[in-house]
Structure 1
Amino acid sequence: MAGKKGKSGGKANNGGLTKGEMTQDDRLQAIVLTDSFETRFMPLTSVKPRCLLPLANVPLIEYTLEFLAKANAREVLLVCSSHANQISDYIESSKWNLPWSPFKVITIMSPEARSVGDAMRDLDNRGIISGDFILVSGDVVTNVEFDRLYEFHKKMRAKDKDHIVTMCLSKASQFHRTRSLEPAAFILDKSDNRCLYYQQIPAAFSRKKTSLEIDTELLENVDDFTIRNDLIDCRIDICTPTVPAIFQENFDYQLLRSDFVKGVLSSDLLSKHVYAYITDEYAARVESWQTYDSISRDFIGRWCFPLTLEANIVSDQTYSYDSGHVYKEKDVVLAQSCKIGKCTAIGSKTRIGEGTLIENSVIGRNCKIGENIKITNSYIWDNTVIGNDSVVDHCILASNSNLGKSVILNDGCVIGFDVKIDDNMEIPSGSRISGTPVKSLHPHELGLSEEELSDTEKEEDKIIDSPAIALVGAQGVGYIYESDLSEMEEDARELDKVAHDLSNHLEEACLSDDSISSRIVKAKKKRTMSTNSMYTDREGDASEFDEDEESFQEEGIATVKRAIENNHDLDTAMLELNTLRMSMNVTYHEVRNVTVVALLRRVYHFIATQTLGPKEAVAKVFGQWGQLFKRETFDREEYVDLIDLLMQRTSEQGFEKPDLILFSALNNLYDNDILEEDIVYQWWDNVSQDPAYDEVKRLTEKWVDWLREADEETSEESSEESSDDGDEDNADDGED
């Protein structure tokens, strides 16, 4: 917990403060919106409010309150709509309610609020805002140094009497994994970062184009401005008391950015100004399953330092840190033969059985995990039971869920509270299962009791559930949850589908219109034949073969991608690929193909996000993962096939400089002793006259010529050395 400056309600002793410390007057009120007013975390938020869901075994609200403690807030107002009683009970029993808490916490029940606008109007009616205040969501994770943000705010306030809001924005690349599902463009005055215009833009996965339409009058008296769409809006704002009043005067303002900020900036009557404070520090909101997954990984990977798990910000936690980003609490029981991989956290009193592998995952307290289980990239909450021989890949299991023996949870499953799954069941990718039937829209999302609901609301309530016996088994307990999208507009439905999906497919969706994966599906190319790529002995219909091949391509690419993202060792990655190859009965040609596709896609990602230049991106990806080819390629013909695949896929990807990519990849494989000169020469002799790939092989031609010249020079030097040795021997004979 952050160090305190004094007890809440106490008077500051200004005379004892050193220069730079805040005085009592500098300490702000903080408004925390504990409700998201969305259904993205259903069905879990039908049982528990989002702000109390655990992220890395820490309730989300704790990250927000820890930030406010470091920000030296004097009073924190928690505005509660959904499951307000649960939040109140949690705060009452937490360290924030102790006499030495750094601030006073007040829980404000606002059950009628359906939006940020409603919450702000309720605050204005109560008249409890006494000055400038911090407005923040109850789902923010950040290590932002608030003092700098506050100094910027005060500077702008002193300079501009019409300044009413300072927004905290964090820099991020276009495809940054914690970037909002609802990105936006900000037009800022370059001189002081005053926000001139705000507009939401389509999410990357939508592939829709847009343009900014701005009234030129908004740019009057502005010498230079910049358009920014590379910013994460973490929803940390410093507001003046004018803000709730503006919401009160404009009842159509519901959303904080697209209604309030955009409305204020474009209003001739208000003439108020909003400023942006842009930081390089970590700041993100847990606003979807994807950001939950991404922020969890960042936190375990220590990107939020000094906010770390072993800091034990929850008073009863006892985490310690080991190498490989492994965190364990006291009283964890590990079997001798179990393996705990990197980037893993395990809560107190959890028991893990023999032969179990856990990697890149967070395990809660009091969990019972049996033998020979594989858990990867997943989040297992408190009091969960998992039977022997089960597999859990990239899933969330909420508290008190129970998996039988030999259960398989595929990518993206969300298993709700108290769900029970019978033995030998396999849950399809992306399934969401709740322990009880779930009601749709506001009443269930807000978690209101039956007494709090009006008769009309009860009648309009719609049950979204269907028996899940086929999924959970005869002895299982659970209901399939599907969000109610029928009344949404098409764009909203698409956003909702992505927001509800734990499986992270955003990167593939936004790389390019002609991504490798889309081309593979659209065009079935003939495969280059090699010793291990013969398939004439395969029985069955040709259409079945094509379907199996496409299915392997999709799953194989995902397997390599997952290995790269989670930094698996080569043995694990190759084991998964070989298992997939044998289960689908495909050849090593297909294995090499999906590996090439996945590596080139990763290179494209680094270039598209401006993380690395083309040569550096190729060196990073192929330098580590090019070693996979040694385990997929076994003779001369297959190495020629590998180079053919590299050339074809590089050409198809649509790189800006495909010749540089191919040359860099081949040179890297050559330097790492994966390719030999005579194999390169054999391949080049077959393709050098083919005009179809002239653009992609332009630099490679020069490289091959250079290799041959170097070979000839080496041969000549060897011949001269041999000749010199012979002359020396003859001279020795003469002397004798």
Structure 2
Amino acid sequence: LERNVCHVAAPLTPLSNMAGKAGKPSRPRKADKDEEEQPLQAVLVADSFNRRFFPITKDQPRALLPLANVSMIDYTLEFLTSTGVQETFVFCCWMASKIKEHLQKSKWCRPTSPNVVHVITSDLYRSLGDVLRDVDAKTLVRSDFLLVYGDVVSNIDISQALQEHKQRRSMDKNVSVMTMIFKESPPGHKTRCEDDDIIIAMDGKSKRILHYQRAQALKRLHFPMNIFHSGSDEFEIRFDLLDCHISICSPQVAELFTDNFDYQTKNDFVRGLLVNEEILGNQIHMHVTKDGYGARVSNLLMYDTVSSDTIRRWVYPITPEANFADLEGQSCTHSRHNVYRETGVSLGHGSQMEENVLIGRNTMIGANCTISNTVIGANCVIGDNVTLDRAYIWNRVHIADDVKVKQSVICDNVEVKHGVVLNEQCVLAYNVVVGPDITLPEGTVLSMHHPDEEDDEDDDEFLSDDNDVGYRKDKTKLKVFNPAEVGSEGKGYRWKTSSLEDTEEDELAECIWGEMSSLYVSSQLLKKWAPVFKNYVKRPQDQLDCLASMEEVFLERETHWAVLMSMYQLEILEEEGIMHWFNQGSTTDKSQQLRRNQGLLKFIQWLQEAEESSEEDE
């Protein structure tokens, strides 16, 4: 292979249909060269193998979705290149041709690129296991390699983790097969995704993982007794870690996936090795960092979080004005309050860009608009008197006058007509038309693809983009748009999102904004544990201590007032204690900002009015 071009490999045949015996040890390897002499390689999986971004990803693969106006896969490749990776294998399945075309036009496939990118496509991949079995079948990796997905955004310096991994491997090549990268992050932090919450038992000295368990929806934890007899002097159980989805792997990892055909995901692999550690002798280690940024865009809540963090410069030096992807015509200026403007932006009289705003090239914004915490793509037209807050507006979008958008995603070529209101967590997929004068309820998802299309797919759910596109268009011609859902002039179909009563495990019913409302979960937990809280929160000082702790936890979350009201309704906290806490002097800017929260102010006002009404009755 020449090093100055972007290679596209022929489709490879995954081995998922083969049957194997779990727990089979890895085969001995023959090395033509010492691994130390090999360049650092990476395997980038540009497919998530789930439908969490449907219906958006029916038109565009997740790896190419724009995050701060740059495709997600470019962030991942920038991280790999900055880490010192010299050769990257990109594996694609869903809409592989689009990913291939994007990479061939990108800087990663130029002769000057320090990271040679090879694109490998197949419409038969169904899991990470299939990808790694092909890596082994083709002997693509010759030494330690990085394993990442194409939606990872990070600036973490992993040089120390690489060095530690190599030191362990130099002592015994076949023992430590993987080092997983974690970042310290307390429970409830906005960069933590509930889907990825994990509990880890580890050896504090060697950093060897002894037990690995996903915490999602668990009511109780189970630890095997053997981990307490592992001979560790320093034994730690941790729930303060964020999985950055960056793993340093030895070549044996791909071999182990081949030898154990029931391994389909990284979780399968980790659990399998830990269960059979005494038999096989393979170990998994971890590296924990306090510095840097690392997150995976696993759903739209994480998309919101990572986009915001990028605009706020938490991923420095990966910033909007850096144009790290070297996109043509995408020069950008950065001004106070993190306001970014690309070339050709037109701003109408009286319009304000308050803070954390990115506006793409050749976008026109009308008069008297208010824009905050928002990303707008290229060639968009925004009318007069428009309010945008935490809105993610992609390319070539037309928004008419008097529109309000709150924490929603609007994809390419969408038209939002006069007077439309988009409440929180709405999604308008590609080419949808909405309005005029309609309010979309919270969590509305609209697409030009009818949801009934899913019922007619066969069981082989991850298809290539070349399959039956024309057939689907013909099939949906007879469908009728519902004016009550999209407006009298609207075009699009409403998709089902998960509800609290919906217990189906089908990912089509899973809300693309993430799991069920954390607020609902919190209220259920408060009801369950209210008797315990009441037993400990009795005196006025206890109440103030409780309120101070809540303030610390909820400084950066907007649900503080709702939890506060639940604790008041459950008679855990009393009115006097809440009013005393609210009126006492706040010392920090964040505390003052928390007390200006509209939901909290309305709750305090309600308490005051209730007290006045009670006094009048007396």
Fold match by TM threshold 0.5: yes
Cα distance between partner residues in 2 of 1:669 and 1:30: 49
Name 2:615's counterpart in structure 1.
none
C-alpha deviations, 1:59-117, integer Å up to 9, x for none? 10011000011011111100101110000000001111111011111001131111111
- Given that 1:110 and 1:122 are in contact with CA atoms closer than 8 Å, whether structure 2 keeps it comes out as no
Name 2:247's counterpart in structure 1.
237
Deviates more, 1:167-176 or 1:155-164: 155-164
- Given that 1:201 and 1:210 are in contact with CA atoms closer than 8 Å, whether structure 2 keeps it comes out as no
**Equivalent residue for 1:191, pick from 195, 201, 205:** 205
Cα distance between partner residues in 1 of 2:438 and 2:503: 34
Point out the structure with the larger helix share.
1
Name 2:384's counterpart in structure 1.
371
Cα distance between partner residues in 2 of 1:25 and 1:393: 53
**Equivalent residue for 1:510, pick from 522, 528, 532:** 522
Cα distance between partner residues in 2 of 1:462 and 1:337: 44
**Amino acid across the alignment from 2:247:** D
**Amino acid across the alignment from 1:667:** Q
Name 1:168's counterpart in structure 2.
181
**Amino acid across the alignment from 1:449:** D
Cα distance between partner residues in 2 of 1:602 and 1:503: 27
- CA separation of 1:663 and 1:373: change in aligned 2, threshold 3 A: closer
- Given that 1:135 and 1:238 are in contact with CA atoms closer than 8 Å, whether structure 2 keeps it comes out as yes
Cα distance between partner residues in 2 of 1:653 and 1:170: 38
Cα distance between partner residues in 2 of 1:47 and 1:600: 51
Cα distance between partner residues in 1 of 2:147 and 2:398: 39
Q: Aligned pair count?
A: 533
Name 1:269's counterpart in structure 2.
279
Name 1:643's counterpart in structure 2.
none
Cα distance between partner residues in 1 of 2:565 and 2:72: 47
Name 1:449's counterpart in structure 2.
466
- CA separation of 1:403 and 1:128: change in aligned 2, threshold 3 A: same
1:467: how far off?
Answer: 4.0
Structure 1 portions without partners, runs of 5+: 1-6, 10-22, 520-598, 626-645, 675-682, 688-736
Name 1:291's counterpart in structure 2.
302
Cα distance between partner residues in 1 of 2:262 and 2:96: 25
- Given that 1:290 and 1:499 are in contact with CA atoms closer than 8 Å, whether structure 2 keeps it comes out as no
Normalising by structure 1, we get a TM-score of 0.66
- CA separation of 1:483 and 1:250: change in aligned 2, threshold 3 A: farther
**Equivalent residue for 2:51, pick from 36, 39, 48:** 39
Cα distance between partner residues in 2 of 1:450 and 1:65: 28
- Given that 1:515 and 1:653 are in contact with CA atoms closer than 8 Å, whether structure 2 keeps it comes out as no
- Given that 1:511 and 1:605 are in contact with CA atoms closer than 8 Å, whether structure 2 keeps it comes out as no
- Given that 2:408 and 2:423 are in contact with CA atoms closer than 8 Å, whether structure 1 keeps it comes out as yes
- Given that 2:55 and 2:449 are in contact with CA atoms closer than 8 Å, whether structure 1 keeps it comes out as no
Name 2:262's counterpart in structure 1.
252
Of structures 1 and 2, the one scoring higher in RCO (CA 8 A, sep 6+) is 2
- Given that 1:286 and 1:292 are in contact with CA atoms closer than 8 Å, whether structure 2 keeps it comes out as yes
Name 2:318's counterpart in structure 1.
307
1:126: how far off?
Answer: 2.0
SS in 1 for 2:525: coil
Deviates more, 1:48-57 or 1:220-229: 220-229
Cα distance between partner residues in 2 of 1:76 and 1:669: 51
Cα distance between partner residues in 2 of 1:274 and 1:345: 41
Matched, 1:481 2:492: no
Q: What are the equivalent positions in structure 2 for 1:61-140 lying under 5 Å apart?
A: 61-140=73-152
Structure 2 portions without partners, runs of 5+: 6-34, 532-543, 597-607, 613-618
Cα distance between partner residues in 2 of 1:240 and 1:661: 55
Cα distance between partner residues in 1 of 2:221 and 2:449: 45
**Equivalent residue for 1:144, pick from 134, 156, 172:** 156
**Amino acid across the alignment from 1:481:** W
1:181: how far off?
Answer: 2.5
SS in 2 for 1:290: helix
Name 1:227's counterpart in structure 2.
237
Name 1:214's counterpart in structure 2.
224
- Given that 2:498 and 2:509 are in contact with CA atoms closer than 8 Å, whether structure 1 keeps it comes out as no
SS in 1 for 2:279: coil
Coordinate RMSD, CA, aligned: 4.0
SS in 1 for 2:526: coil
- Given that 2:449 and 2:493 are in contact with CA atoms closer than 8 Å, whether structure 1 keeps it comes out as yes
C-alpha deviations, 1:235-264, integer Å up to 9, x for none? 10010110111111111111102x100110
1:434: how far off?
Answer: 0.9
- CA separation of 1:510 and 1:170: change in aligned 2, threshold 3 A: farther
**Equivalent residue for 1:340, pick from 325, 338, 353:** 353
- Given that 2:136 and 2:254 are in contact with CA atoms closer than 8 Å, whether structure 1 keeps it comes out as yes
1:607: how far off?
Answer: 4.0
- Given that 1:218 and 1:266 are in contact with CA atoms closer than 8 Å, whether structure 2 keeps it comes out as no
Cα distance between partner residues in 2 of 1:666 and 1:490: 43
- Given that 2:147 and 2:247 are in contact with CA atoms closer than 8 Å, whether structure 1 keeps it comes out as yes
Normalising by structure 2, we get a TM-score of 0.77
- Given that 2:45 and 2:91 are in contact with CA atoms closer than 8 Å, whether structure 1 keeps it comes out as yes
Among all aligned residue pairs of Structure 1 and Structure 2, give the percentage whose two residues are the same amino acid: 31
Name 1:326's counterpart in structure 2.
339
SS in 2 for 1:371: coil
**Equivalent residue for 2:584, pick from 638, 660, 667:** 667
- Given that 1:45 and 1:445 are in contact with CA atoms closer than 8 Å, whether structure 2 keeps it comes out as no
C-alpha deviations, 1:208-245, integer Å up to 9, x for none? 52212314167422222101111111210010110111
1:468: how far off?
Answer: 3.6
C-alpha deviations, 1:157-187, integer Å up to 9, x for none? 2344400000001111110112123211111
1:357: how far off?
Answer: 1.3
Name 2:427's counterpart in structure 1.
414
SS in 2 for 1:265: helix
Name 1:584's counterpart in structure 2.
none
Cα distance between partner residues in 2 of 1:277 and 1:265: 17
- CA separation of 1:191 and 1:669: change in aligned 2, threshold 3 A: closer
Cα distance between partner residues in 2 of 1:497 and 1:601: 38
SS in 2 for 1:269: helix
**Amino acid across the alignment from 1:78:** V
- Given that 2:244 and 2:296 are in contact with CA atoms closer than 8 Å, whether structure 1 keeps it comes out as yes
- CA separation of 1:99 and 1:260: change in aligned 2, threshold 3 A: same
Cα distance between partner residues in 2 of 1:670 and 1:132: 50
- CA separation of 1:227 and 1:312: change in aligned 2, threshold 3 A: same
**Equivalent residue for 1:356, pick from 329, 347, 369:** 369
Cα distance between partner residues in 1 of 2:40 and 2:586: 58
C-alpha deviations, 1:562-595, integer Å up to 9, x for none? xxxxxxxxxxxxxxxxxxxxxxxxxxxxxxxxxx
- Given that 1:301 and 1:325 are in contact with CA atoms closer than 8 Å, whether structure 2 keeps it comes out as yes
Cα distance between partner residues in 2 of 1:364 and 1:600: 46
Q: What are the equivalent positions in structure 2 for 1:584-663 lying under 5 Å apart?
A: 605-608=550-553, 652=570, 654=572
- CA separation of 1:669 and 1:37: change in aligned 2, threshold 3 A: closer
